[in-house]
Structure 1
Amino acid sequence: MADYQPMTLEQRIAALQAENGRLIDSNNALTQTVIGKMGEINHALSDAQQDISEAVVLAGAKTDQAILNFADSHSDLRINYYDRADHSKSSLNIEAEPEAPHISKWVKVPIATQGYYTYPAPQALTKIHLTRSYSYAPGHSEEDQYSHDWSRSFPQFVLANYEATSDQINAEVERLGLQPKITGGWNACATTQTIDTIKLHGLHPYSMLFVRFVNMLPSPVGSDKTPQNIVEFGGNATFAVDRVINYPRIEV
């Protein structure tokens, strides 16, 4: 057993003072460390706030530019004006395609009192505005429904070089893999629809609106039947064009 040496009061006081000094030194060191870390944190926060501020400014600038670009893309228009005159299968004297008689050949949409050629951007967003778009199924009114006429005619549109032939348009539509949309309804309401724009090389770039008609099977008709000749069946689909707008800066 180690010898125990009792401490006098003065020795105890001196020992406590020494321990207290060490505690004070440790506390001061800890305080300096905390202060240093807080400084680093404040500096990092300041840098982060600066980065955030710069990012906000940059995002705002990009947003403003995007809005301007969007506005520019929608305000840059190439427009064909038309006269809202009614056109139909009969008025356009359509002809059936020899190899696909349920489809007509492409014909130009006539311009009577207004209109001019445009230089549309090919394969850019193009909208046709129709004041009338009427399609109906004659077989619906037959006593024995769809026993004689089980087809329904719809128009399809494309903007193309005014010198283009129907065969040239068909070839370009096939080459590009385009699928012209149909339009028309029982209510004959005004409508707006996206159409295709093509440009045939070697032909004058002036462009006009072309239309063709296609016979389809009304929903009540079974798939065992096929669409009939476009000239003789499907009803006299009718349309009237207000304008065609090509957005050259909007690609599709």
Structure 2
Amino acid sequence: MAGHSKWAGIKHKKAIVDSRRGKLFTKLARAITVAAKEGGGDVVGNAALGLAVQKAKDASMPKDNIERAIAKGTGAGADADTMEAVMYEGYGPGGVAMLVEAFTDNRNRTGSEIRHAFAKHGGNLGEPGSVAYLFDKKGVVVVDGEKYSEDDLMPALDAGAEDIVLEDDVYEILCEPSDLTAMRAALVDAGIEVVESQVMQRPKTLVPLDEDGAIKLMKLIDTLEDLDDTDTVHANFDVDAEILERVAG
């Protein structure tokens, strides 16, 4: 999975130094609002909300912003929110399976924007269930590989970690989603600085792409990620790490 892991590493490092913080905070706030709307405003009792809030804290989102997003979701704020989570499924260039997680207050608008992005960049939007079976939902904690060694991460194994992957100086520590909070806590208690923690869709199989295919796919991914309603894009491609570095650069 070198090429795919390389992509994950590049994305995580980009998150560390992301200069588009205003747009990032908007996306994080939407995730918090939807989690609070669906499961209530108790961070301890609502696991999805707890993960969304932790992700926001990892990105240094101000406490006031987080509290406003929770209030908006529960209806305790000035206006109750109509935001909801939606998953879109489709195929990109080269037959790459793609999942697009979005938060929207207008399904028609978001669906139209995502469909247009797929069509413009050589892909096509599919029906619900068309590609989701090709992914496993996993918890992931991201740690800076330049600061720590794999031995430093051993506390994660006792807390449910299934695998530790290093790519592009970034560690991805994988677990079942239900173990994510405990695994993160074990690392923090051991003095490990966590870059981010989240639930992700990890591909079961990978589709190889050449450089031309990788360029086309990255244009589609960039377009999807730039949409205001898009939260996360997952794709099951594999590209040679050197090619991917050139394309992503």
Which of the five TM-score ranges fits, normalised by the shorter chain? Answer: under 0.3
When normalised by structure 2's length, the TM-score is 0.25
Greater fraction of residues in helix: 2
Q: Relative contact order: is structure 1 or structure 2 higher (C-alpha 8 Å, sep ≥ 6)?
A: 1
Q: Tell me which structure has the larger Cα radius of gyration.
A: 1
When normalised by structure 1's length, the TM-score is 0.25
